[in-house]
Structure 1
Amino acid sequence: MKKEKLTGTAVPLGALYTKENPVIGEFPDLKPFADFCKSAGISIIQLLPVNDTGTQSSPYSGLSAFALHPIYIRLKNIEGFDSLYSSDAKFKKAYDSLVKNHKYCLRYNYDGILNEKTALLKMLYDNTDEGKTGETGAALSKWIKANPWVKDYAVYKNLKWNYMQASWKSWLDSDRSKSKEEITALWNKKAFKKEHLFYAWTQMIADAQFKDAVEYVHGLGLKLKGDMPILMNEDSADAWAYPEVFNQDLRAGAPADGDNPNGQNWGFPTYNWKNLKDDDYRWWKDRLTNASKYYDAYRLDHILGFFRIWAIPEADLNALNGHTEPYAFIKKTDLYELGFDDDRIRWLSQPHIPTHVIEDITWNHDKAHQILAIFCNKIDGEELWRFDSSVKGNKVIEEADLSELCAPEAIPRVKKVLEDFWSDRTLLEIAKNKYVPLWTYGKSTSWGTLNDQEKSSLLACFNDLNSKNEKLWKKQADEIFAAITSAVKMIPCGEDLGVNIECVPKTMAAHNILGLRVVRWCRKWNEPGQPYVPFADYTPLSVTTTSVHDSSTIREWWETEKDSVRAFISANPEVFAPGTTEAAEFSPEIAEAVIKASATSASQWFIPPLQDFLYMDKSLWLEKASDERINIPGTVTEFNWTYRLPCSLEELCNNKTLIEKIM
C-alpha cells in the first residue's frame, strides 16, 4: 500500500446542507463540500455510514448491509420532479411543506424528514412507468441484475411496511422465516411487484446520485472513506434473509467495566463465523465489493469483534453472563483433577439463592417461597434454591408478573435481587461439561468461599485459558482479514480503541490495516502520571484524530476535562502561547494549536471531525459546546445523530479565513 501523509475530515452526510436544499444533507451535497475540502487542502472525506437504517437514526443500526439510505436522496434531481411539481398540487404542497418545516434547525428532525421524503418518493415513483404498470423497465431491470441483493431487501421492506414497521421477529410465522426460494417467489408475485419495484427504484436513484457525487469527488483528486459497522441490527433485511450468517441466540456487547458495571448489551446478533468461513466469507466479500463502488478506504467499526466478540445469551438483558466467541474452555475432567467434585462444581457454576434474600423484601416466608418457585427449585432440606433449567436468562425475571405476590413497590427490588443472583457464579457452563470463568467471578459468593489453594489452582487454569484464547482470536482474525481485505482494493482502517490484547496490533499490521489514534486518549496509561505518547511515536500505520463521533469535541474536552487538558499542554508546550494553562478560555487560537500539533503525528493520515476544524472561526461556534456533539453513547434521544453544520455549504466555501487556517 502506498504510504501517503494526508489530511482529511470526518462528517455525517446528513449534517451538510445548502441554501437551495436546506432540509438535510444529501448525496449531491458532497460536491460543494468537496470544493471546500479541495480549497482547504483536505484530501480525504470520511463519512459516517450511509446505509438504510429504517426508523433508527443511528447510522450504526443498519437495516441493510447493502442498501443506501433513501433519506439522502435529492428529490429535485429525480427525473420527472419538475413536471410533477408544476402539475400536481398535492405533490407541490407536500414538497413545499417539507422544506418549510425542516429549514435551518439546530438539529434535523430525522423521523419527520424520513416520513415526508418517503411519501414524496412514492408519489414520484407512482408517476414512473414502473409505478403505473408494475412492470420492470429496461434501466431498472439492468440495475436489479447488477444488484441482486435488492430483491431480498425489497421483499423485506414491503413486508415491514405492511407490518407497520414492526420487527420481523413479531411477524406471522409464514413471513418470519422464508427460504431463498420463497423470497424469490414472493419477489416475483405479480400482486406485490409494484411495491417491490418501488424499493428497487429508490435504491437505483440513490446509487446513481451517490456515484455521481463520488465521481465529482474523485475528479478533484480527493479520496472518500466509508464506515463499515461490524454488526447488523437484528431487525434487518440481512438477519431475516440470511439467517445462516448470524447467531440469533447470541447478542453482541461488551463485558463489565468501571463505567458499565453490568457490561453493555448492544442487542445485535453475533456472526456465525463457521458458516461464513464455509462459504468463503461470501456475505462479507459482497458487502465490501458493494461499498467499493463509492469508497477508496473504509473503517471497520469495533475491529476487536473480528478477533473475538463478547457474546451474550439472547435471553439475558445485561452482559454479565456473556463470554468471548471463540473461547477456550475448562473441561469438567480438568476440574475433577483440581479436586472439585460434582457438588463443588455445581456450587461454582450455579447460583444458590437463600430464601431470606426474598423474605427480607416481602416480610412473608410463604410469599418468598412462592416467588422463588416460579424460577427456581428448592434444595431438599435447605432454605436454598437453584434456578430451574427452563430459565435461560434474566429477561424472564424482568418480564415476570409478580403483582399477586408482591406489593408494587417491592417488585423492582425482588427482581433486582433475582437478577443479581443470576450472575452470581464463578464458572459459566457454556456447553455441556465446558466451563469458562464469569468475567466478574471475583465478586461471586462461591469464589469467596474457596481457600487460597483452590483460588490459586483456578487462577492458573484461567491464565492458561487466556493464552489459548489469544491464539484462537488471532487465528480467527487472520483468516477473516486474509479473505475480506484482499477482496477489494479499498484501504482498510480499524477502530481499535481501548484494545489491550497483544495480538491485535500485530495482526492488524500484518494485514496493512490502519489503526485509530485519538489524541486525548493516546497516553501511557500504566506509567506514573500517564504521560501523553509523543506525536513522533505514533504508529505510522494509523489514522490520527482529535475527536470521534462518540466523544466530545475538542472544545467540550477543553472545557470539561481539565486534568487531561493540563497534561496535554505540559506535553506540548511549544504549540501554545506562553502562559497557556487549562484554565485558559477556549479560543480559535487554542483550537488551531491543538489541530496543528495533532497534525504532526507520525500517522499516515490525520482525519479530525469537521467540528474541530470549524472551531478556528468563532462565528461558527454554537452557544454550547455540548450541542456540537454527534452522539452521546448510552442514550437514545432525538439529539443523537442529527447534528447539522452551523452554516450552509455556500457560506463554508466562501469562508476564506477558515480555509487559509486549515491549509
Structure 2
Amino acid sequence: MKLCFSLNFRTKLGEKVQIVIKEDGYEDKIFPLEYAENGEWKVEADYYSKSIKYIYQIINQDGIVLDEEFSAHQLVFPHNIKEYHIYDVWNLKNFPENYLNNKVLQNQFQNFKPQKVSLLKKHTHLFRIEVPIYNPDWKIAIIGNSKTLGNWLYENAICMKQTTLGVWEIPLNIEDQHNIQYKYGILDSKSGKILELETGNNRFAPSNLAEEVLLIKADHQFHFKSYQLYHAAGVAVPVFSLRNSEGFGVGEFRDLKSLADWSAKTKLKIIQILPINDTSAHNNWTDSYPYSAISIFALHPQYLAIDALDFPIPKKLMQQFEAEREILNENSAVDFEQMIAGKWKYISTIFEENETKILADKNFKKFIKENESWLLPYSAFCVQRDLYKTADFTKWKTHKKYIAGKISPFFSPKNKNFKNAMLHSWVQFQLHLQLKEAVDYLHDLGISLKGDLPIGIYRHSVEAWTEPNLFEMEFQAGAPPDQFSDLGQNWGFPTYNWEAMKEDGFLWWKNRFQALEQYFDAMRIDHILGFFRIWRMPISSVQGVLGYFNPAIPVTTKEFIAHGIQFNKDRFCNPFINDEILWDIFGEECDTVKTKFLQISEHGHYSFNEEVNTQRKISDYFTDNPNEDLEQKMLSLCANVLFLIEEKEGVEVFHPRFNLNKTNSYKYLTNGEKQQLDRIYHDYFFVRQDKLWSRNALEKLPIILNATKMLICGEDLGLVPACMPEVMNTLGITALKVQRMPAENIPFSNPENTTYLNVVTPSTHDSSTLRQWWNEDRNITQNYFSTQLKQWGTAPSDLEPQIAEMILKQHLYNNAMLAIFPIQEFFATDFQLRNPNLNDERINNPAIFPHNWKYRMHLNVTDLLTSEKFNNKIAAWVVDSGRF
C-alpha cells in the first residue's frame, strides 16, 4: 500500500519537514518530506495498516526538532485501494475539533453508532473533516462548485457520514475535475436545510485522474460561528458540602445523583467539584483541606456511604448509627473529626464481620489486581501511618525508605499487616463502586462531571515516599503576595523535579490524568501557572513572601555591577535591622527583642542569633513559647531582605524579593540605589522571564494533555505572565475569568467581552460569595452597582435577589464556553432559598492557613427538586442563553 503525503507549510530557510508515524508498541517511523513548490512538501511511503496515527515535525539541518504538531492526525483506510494521496494541513491544538472532541461530547452521544462509508473503485476523492457537534439534530454537509458537489446550491448539499464521533467523511466521484472548490456546512436533519456554511475562503482540492488512487482531503478547523460552538452552564459545589438526610454529616458520592437530578431540571450540563482524594494525614480537622492528598489515586473515605456498602451495618449497631447520623446531620457545618471517626468505626466493624466473604469476592480481587501499582503502596502507607500515628514517614521506625520488595508482603495473607492492608484496599474498592455508580447516573442524564487537579502533592504522601526523586523535598511551593494575602501563600508542597519527570516522558503525569479520566469528563487544573513556573521557597521559610520563581533567569553580581550598584551580599540578602526599624515594629518591646534574639553587628546594625536566624527557626521557637503577636513581628523582621540567594551549579545568583520597594530595608537605600534596583526588579518580574516560561509550559503541557480525552480548564488567577494567555490559547485550554479578579488593570471585567476559550464565574471556592463580597467594601460595591450593572442611585445595603439575578445573567449571556456558578450564587437569587446566615457561605479563605473546610449546604439536595418556581427560573435562563 502506497501512502503519498502532502503538506502545505511555509518554512524558514534551512528548515525541513518530516512525518512521524506512531505505532503502539513499536518505534516511531520517520519519513523526510521533499519540498515541491509553493510551500508544498511531499513524501511517498510504503506502509500497510488499517489505520494510521502521525504528526509532522519541523527540523533544522542538524535534524533537531524545532516544532511539531501537538495533536496527531488519525486516518482509517479502506483496503480495496492500492494508493492513497493524503492532503493535510498543520494540525493545531487550538483547532475546535481538538479541544471539543472530548469526554463531554461523548456524554451527549452515549448511544452513538458510527456510520459506514462504502468506497467504490470509481470514487476519486474522500473528504474528511473533524467537527464535534453537540446538537443531535445537526449534520455536516459539503457543497461546492462542481456538479457532484451541488454547484453551490443549498438544496444539493451532500450530507456526510459520521464515521467516528466528531469525524465526518464522504467518498465522491468528481468527474468534472477542474479547480475544485468547496465548503462545509451545518445541515438541520429535521428540516433538511443548510443552517450555515462555514465562514472564510473556499477550500480547494486537487484533481485526481489516476486509476486505483484515492485522494483523501483531510481537512481541519471547521469555521464555526461562536453561537454554534458548545456552550454550557454548570454548578460548582464540593462533594463534602452536599446535604442529604441519608448522609452522615457530610456529602457522599451518592449525593451527586440527587444533584444531577436537580441539574437536569435546571438544564445545567456540568457539575464541578473540588478534589476528592484521600487527605488523611493528621487524624484531625486539618485533614479537611482537599488540596493536600496523601495519594493522587486513592479516594477519600469520608465520601463513602456506610449504609450502601456491599455488606450491611450489623443490626446491633443500627440504632447507634441512626442516632449518630441524626446528630451529625443537624450540624450547620461539617464536623470532620466526629464524622470520619464514626465512619471508620462502622467500616472497620463491617469489614471484620465479613472479612472471609470480602477477601473471596472475585470483583474485589480483580480491583486489587488492576490497581496494585498504586493500591499496594497506598495501603501499606496507611498501615504504617496508623501504626506510628503520623504520615511523616521519616519518623517511622520501619519502612522509612520505600523499598518495593519489602512492601509487597503487606498483600500476603501470612503477613501480620495483611488484614489492615486489605481493609484500606476494600474501602478504596467500595469508594470506586459508589463513585462510578454516581458518574454513570450523571452520564445517563447527559451531565458531565468536572474535577479539580491540585498542582502539588503533600509532603508526607505516598508519592513522596515511593518516588522522592520526582520532587524537590528541600523546597516548598506557594504563591507570591496577592489580593488574598499580603504575605503570599506557603502551601508546604514540595516542588517538582521536572528534569527527572522528563526522563520517562512525564509518565507520572500521564498516569495521574488517566486515573482521573475514569471518573471525570472535564478537569480544572489548579494553579496551571505551576506548569510555566512555580513560586518556590526554601524549607527554612514560613511566609510566601520569601519565595522566588522557578525556573527563572536570576540576577547575577555582574548585573549589579552593570547597573552601577556596589553589591553587598550581607546588606542585600540578610535582614536589615537598625534601631529605627526595631522601634517601628516592636515599640517598647524592642529592648527585650534585642536582648533575647539579636546581636550587634557593624555600623550599629543588628543580626539574628543563630537559633532564630530563619523564619522556620522563629516559628519553632514560638511553638514552644507561644506569643502570636511577637511571632508575627519577628517573622516580618526576618523577611526584611532585598534579594534571595539561590545556588546554581556552584554559583550564587539572586532573586528580588517580591514587593522589594515596600520593605524597611529599601527605605534606607540611596536614591540612586533605589532607582537601579527598581529597574532590575521590573525586568525580573515583567520582562526577562516570558520566553523561558513559555518554553517550559510548551515542553510539558502538550504531552500531558494528549494523554487524556477530558476537557481541560486552567485556573490562571494570580500574577499571570504575559506569555500565559498565548500558550493556553495555543493549546486550546480554557482560562478562568472571575469578574472581580480581572487580569487587566481595571476594577471589574465584563463577561460580555469574554472570548470563547474561557470559563466565567462570579466567585470561586477561594473567594467570598457574592452576598459576602457585597458587604465587604461599600465603595467597591457602589462602583460595581453604578458602572458594571448600570444602575442609578445608591446600591442596596445587601445583595438583593434581583441584583444577584442580573449578575448571574451577565455570566450566562456571553461567548464563553462554560458558565459555572457556585451553588450559593444560585441560592442568592431567591429570598426563600438563600442561607439566612451569611457567614456560613464561604468555603475557603486562602489568607488563613490551615483553614477548616467545613461548608455545608443549608438545604438538602433532594429538597431542591421540589422548588419548581426556582428551578424553572434557572432553566429558563439557561435555555434562553443557549447553554442547554
Q: Does residue 1:545 correspond to 2:761, yes or no?
A: yes
**Whole-Å separation in 2 of the counterparts to 1:563 and 1:141:** 62
The corresponding residue for 1:199 is 424
Q: Does residue 1:588 correspond to 2:801, yes or no?
A: yes
Q: Which residue type is aligned with residue 692 of structure 2?
A: L
Contact persistence 1:168–1:240 (CA under 8 A): no
Q: Does residue 1:506 correspond to 2:737, yes or no?
A: no
Cα offset for 1:615? 2.7
Contact persistence 2:314–2:350 (CA under 8 A): no
Q: Which residue type is aligned with residue 513 of structure 2?
A: L
**Whole-Å separation in 1 of the counterparts to 2:490 and 2:416:** 40
**Whole-Å separation in 2 of the counterparts to 1:334 and 1:654:** 68
The corresponding residue for 2:639 is 423
- Give ranges in structure 2 of 5+ residues lacking alignment: 1-98, 101-228, 876-884
Q: Deviation digits for residues 290-325 of structure 1, max 9, x if unmatched?
A: 110111101011122221211111111222321111
2:751 equivalent among 535, 544, 562: 535
Cα offset for 1:218? 0.4
- Matched residue SS, 1:106: coil
**1:469-618 correspondence runs (5 A):** 469-522=689-742, 525-526=745-746, 530=747, 532-571=748-787, 581-583=794-796, 585-618=798-831
The corresponding residue for 2:880 is none
The corresponding residue for 1:85 is 314
Q: Does residue 1:109 correspond to 2:330, yes or no?
A: no
1:622 equivalent among 829, 835, 840: 835
Q: Which residue type is aligned with residue 418 of structure 2?
A: K
State which structure, 1 or 2, has the greater radius of gyration over its C-alpha atoms: 2
In structure 2, the CA distance between the partners of 1:537 and 1:394, relative to structure 1 (3 Å rule), is same
2:865 equivalent among 650, 653, 661: 653
Q: Which residue type is aligned with residue 815 of structure 2?
A: A
Contact persistence 2:484–2:847 (CA under 8 A): no
Q: Which residue type is aligned with residue 80 of structure 1?
A: F
TM-score by length of 2: 0.66
Cα offset for 1:16? 2.2
**Whole-Å separation in 2 of the counterparts to 1:552 and 1:99:** 30
Task: Give the total of aligned pairs.
Answer: 635
**Whole-Å separation in 2 of the counterparts to 1:558 and 1:617:** 16
Q: Does residue 1:315 correspond to 2:535, yes or no?
A: no
**1:241-640 correspondence runs (5 A):** 241-257=466-482, 260-338=485-563, 344-351=568-575, 353=577, 368=594, 371-372=597-598, 383-384=604-605, 393-400=614-621, 419-431=635-647, 432-444=651-663, 447-448=666-667, 450-466=669-685, 467-522=687-742, 525-526=745-746, 530=747, 532-571=748-787, 581-583=794-796, 585-635=798-848, 640=852
Contact persistence 2:612–2:621 (CA under 8 A): no
In structure 2, the CA distance between the partners of 1:111 and 1:338, relative to structure 1 (3 Å rule), is same
**Whole-Å separation in 1 of the counterparts to 2:441 and 2:401:** 42
**Whole-Å separation in 2 of the counterparts to 1:39 and 1:470:** 46
**Whole-Å separation in 2 of the counterparts to 1:341 and 1:284:** 45
1:184 equivalent among 408, 414, 421: 408
Q: Which residue type is aligned with residue 395 of structure 2?
A: W
The corresponding residue for 1:31 is 257
Q: Does residue 1:127 correspond to 2:356, yes or no?
A: no
Contact persistence 2:690–2:723 (CA under 8 A): yes
Q: Deviation digits for residues 255-309 of structure 1, max 9, x if unmatched?
A: 2346633322222222222222223222221111111011110101112222121
Cα offset for 1:629? 2.2
Q: Which residue type is aligned with residue 541 of structure 1?
A: L
- Give ranges in structure 1 of 5+ residues lacking alignment: none
- Matched residue SS, 2:477: strand
**Whole-Å separation in 1 of the counterparts to 2:775 and 2:667:** 44
Cα offset for 1:126? 1.2
Q: Deviation digits for residues 16-48 of structure 1, max 9, x if unmatched?
A: 233344632211121222111111111111111
Contact persistence 1:8–1:606 (CA under 8 A): yes
**Whole-Å separation in 2 of the counterparts to 1:511 and 1:440:** 32
Cα offset for 1:119? 1.2
Deviates more, 1:539-548 or 1:441-450: 441-450
Cα offset for 1:394? 1.9
**Whole-Å separation in 1 of the counterparts to 2:242 and 2:680:** 54
Contact persistence 1:94–1:120 (CA under 8 A): no
Cα offset for 1:217? 0.5
Q: Which residue type is aligned with residue 553 of structure 1?
A: T
TM-score by length of 1: 0.87
- Over aligned residue pairs, what C-alpha RMSD do you find? 3.3
In structure 2, the CA distance between the partners of 1:193 and 1:4, relative to structure 1 (3 Å rule), is same
**Whole-Å separation in 1 of the counterparts to 2:261 and 2:622:** 60
Q: Deviation digits for residues 118-172 of structure 1, max 9, x if unmatched?
A: 111111111234588xx675322221222121111111111111122x2415623
Q: Deviation digits for residues 324-375 of structure 1, max 9, x if unmatched?
A: 1111122334445555567x3443233455589889978989x9578546xx
- Matched residue SS, 1:45: strand
2:367 equivalent among 138, 143, 149: 143
1:226 equivalent among 451, 454, 470: 451
| Bigger fraction of residues in helix | 1
**Whole-Å separation in 2 of the counterparts to 1:520 and 1:546:** 7
**Whole-Å separation in 1 of the counterparts to 2:515 and 2:295:** 12
Contact persistence 1:494–1:515 (CA under 8 A): yes
Cα offset for 1:240? 2.3
Larger RCO, structure (CA 8 Å, separation 6 or more): 1
**Whole-Å separation in 2 of the counterparts to 1:212 and 1:53:** 23
- Matched residue SS, 2:251: coil
| Bigger fraction of residues in strand | 2
Deviates more, 1:390-399 or 1:509-518: 390-399
Cα offset for 1:446? 5.8
Deviates more, 1:460-469 or 1:102-111: 460-469
**Whole-Å separation in 2 of the counterparts to 1:186 and 1:650:** 42
Cα offset for 1:250? 1.1
In structure 2, the CA distance between the partners of 1:485 and 1:392, relative to structure 1 (3 Å rule), is farther
- Matched residue SS, 1:41: coil
Cα offset for 1:180? 3.6
In structure 2, the CA distance between the partners of 1:430 and 1:125, relative to structure 1 (3 Å rule), is same
Cα offset for 1:580? 7.0
Cα offset for 1:57? 1.0
Contact persistence 1:252–1:266 (CA under 8 A): yes
Deviates more, 1:483-492 or 1:438-447: 438-447
- Matched residue SS, 1:226: strand
Cα offset for 1:400? 3.9
